[in-house]
Structure 1
């Protein structure tokens, strides 16, 4: 393609077809002035493509370079890729869009009500700058402070706007979890053998920890309906009465007990999210339910992280490294309920128990 463009001194616009959305689009532009210094098979040095003096180069720059439009379609025949090239004479009819004749980067829909106004305005400006894309930074008329703790928290932003920040409250209700493991002997050698005929190698894998059970405690707002339910226990906190509920899963429930636990956590998170809302329904509250572990980022998360993505739920965001996740947000695909796995140790100062 480059050889053809250099020899014939032409520009080529290549159009493609999107099989998913069923439309044609301009995918690539090859301009003679940008690739004329590229070495081709028939030209063994870049100096052969350069002009001898400034006068010749100026004459070439003033020369009108014709542009051709082609449609590139790929196909397969007997496990071999085949490409068909079609000459396009009416690009507007092919793409149903009107492209700028100077930059070929901006397109306009002729059916739009403001098509003529937008098209004429862009073409006039693009002609002045010669079809070049010039990026400009547009600043706001007034500077705004960097306050992510307000802008990213719609609850606090609402209370601040209504002069009611004294009503802002911490998260009272959450879920905790803890895993128990069992050691399984492996005794497998790997690495470089110590001798030519020896089965013993320079490294040995002695054992591996496998999850045995998982337990969670759910803290909820106390309701009178919990009085006759043995699954809930009433406790007293500085903020009032609360209910405690515990769930437990182990290998006796099956090899997929971790998946069962995550599914139950999503169910419990629905009530936790409702209890964390404000009594005043006008105050917005849309926060993830916190699933808190203790030193879990270095240990527990390695046991269940592979179960956080399946056909029912998926990971929305992951902060940290694969070996130590500081925060993992998981969303249920049907209910859109979000839970957030965090480690309490990430929010405390390191201490020496001695």
Structure 2
């Protein structure tokens, strides 16, 4: 015979109470036969109670004997070890003193042109605007042995496709003649990733180390990845199945067919939590860095060449935003823009600076995050989010 008892103690006195109905006391219904079905006791959700009663009736009439299957070898729940071949090898061979986290990576960001479309797709759906690629920038991080690092910044724009030597650049990477500037950036990124990999790999070739470099964008799972889909479709590299949906791609890996170098595109925001890039830099980065500004709505696919080749600075009125119902920046931010613009000869050069700036200011927060997790022997860049560490 089994009795359900409740022990109550205030530190000096103890009382034992008999519980006649555990389910009413806890508000939880548990299958009395196999204990594998649980639901919350509810006076309003009758359907949940009906599902539970149906399950209990099936268990009552079942002749199946419950059993537990155990692994032949006890398996600890430690994803930082079991999901990381390098760490697993180092621990198994007593070489954790050689452990080092990945400090080499690449950050990237797109700038786009927006054209108002106002096209009725269905009776209930209207396409308001359509985005097209204007530029892509990246900052490559080359780690040194003393935890310092070197940065290489790149930016490719629509203007590159108009240059006289554009076809020559495509031929260097054996790209098809109809390739876009994004294809060119991706080919260059594969080449840079090879060098970053050489900076990170272990001198002992027996230590497993994946030939893969992380490429991180901010909020890229919902935006930037969508702009890369057509560039992923190329005869020089292959694309793996993405993790997540098409509207929220958490990770996707692209492998070069010749070098077998892998680029894994992940969203840096998943490593910090939902916030803006500006807030991330303020909380985790270098306080001296600031996010630059740019009048997105002033430029479209019809006027981009004319507008960006002008040498005069943007006026404050150019930063008016229909989406925000006012100005997209403050007066102080505009004053900082005027200071920044003095370093450039035209608006195109400022655009490149602005695009690169968004990738460069991601580096310090990521490095601080890497340092924090390194204290616990966790290689944070091996994962696509903090939750998977």
Q: TM-score, normalised by structure 2?
A: 0.45
Greater Cα radius of gyration, structure 1 or 2: 1
Higher helix share: 2
**Higher relative contact order (CA closer than 8 Å, sequence separation 6+):** 2
Higher strand share: 1
